[in-house]
């Protein structure tokens, strides 16, 4: 059975990453932008912030949704969200790229189907009977 959805949202935990990479605002931004490119996304803009004394939070806004990261260098940990829509972007390519770029020794991930078409149709009181769907998740 295939589940029709509007988007894919991968929630990622990267463990025991390179602490120097996680501290570096410029490197984190570069890696996140490259993850978007590798996944075939179209970058619209980005915004990153370095915390004192360390840690970086940032977002890459893509035409197809967004990629976000929050780092805790003191723990070697990064939390990442990869949310994409459309059929041309593969968020799992971004996942693998970041796993390698951050030098994570371990990662855990969960994919969430976003905008389940049946629910969107049901809860819109029939206002959106003709929804374009690009993704189908095996269920």
**122 part of a folded domain:** no
20 within a domain of the structure (yes/no): yes
With contact defined as beta carbons under 8 Å apart, do 59 and 66 qualify? yes
Q: Give the active site residues.
A: 65, 70, 85
pLDDT in tens, 69-118: 999 999 999 999 999 998 889 999 999 999 999 999 999 999 998 877 77
Is residue 134, in this structure, part of any structural domain at all? no
**pLDDT tens, residue by residue, 12-57:** 999 999 999 999 999 999 999 999 999 999 999 999 999 999 999 9
**How many domains is the chain built from?**
1
Judged by DSSP in three states, 39 sits in coil
Residue 92 within any structural domain of the chain: yes
Compute the residue count for the chain: 139
Is residue 95 situated within a structural domain? Answer: yes
| Average pLDDT for the chain | 89
pLDDT tens profile 40-52: 999 999 999 999 9
Is 17 inside a domain boundary?
Answer: yes
Long-range contacts of 63-69 (CB under 8 A, 24+ apart): 64/88, 64/89, 65/7, 67/32, 67/35, 67/36, 67/41, 67/94, 69/28, 69/32, 69/98
Answer whether residue 139 is part of any domain. no
Any idea what the CATH number is for the domain that residue 59 is in? 3.60.90.10
Residue 33 in domain: yes
Domain span at residue 67 reads 8-114
Tell me the C-alpha distance between 17 and 4, whole Å. Answer: 35
Cα angle 27, 84, 122; round to 5: 155
Looking at the DSSP bridge assignments, the partners of residue 13 are: 79, 108
């Amino acid at each position: 059975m295939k589940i029709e959805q509007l988007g894919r949202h991968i929630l990622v935990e990267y463990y025991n990453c390179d602490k120097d990479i996680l501290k570096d605002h410029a490197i984190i931004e570069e890696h996140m932008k490259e993850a978007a490119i590798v996944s075939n996304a179209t970058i619209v803009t980005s915004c990153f912030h370095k915390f004192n004394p360390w840690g970086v939070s940032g977002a890459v806004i893509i035409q197809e949704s967004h990629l976000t990261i929050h780092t805790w260098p003191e723990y070697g940990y990064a939390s990442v969200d990869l949310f994409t829509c459309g059929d041309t972007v593969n968020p799992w390519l971004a996942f693998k790229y970041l796993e390698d770029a951050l030098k994570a020794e371990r990662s855990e991930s969960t994919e969430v189907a976003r905008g389940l078409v049946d629910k969107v149709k049901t809860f819109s009181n029939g206002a959106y009977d003709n929804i374009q769907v690009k993704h189908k998740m095996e269920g």
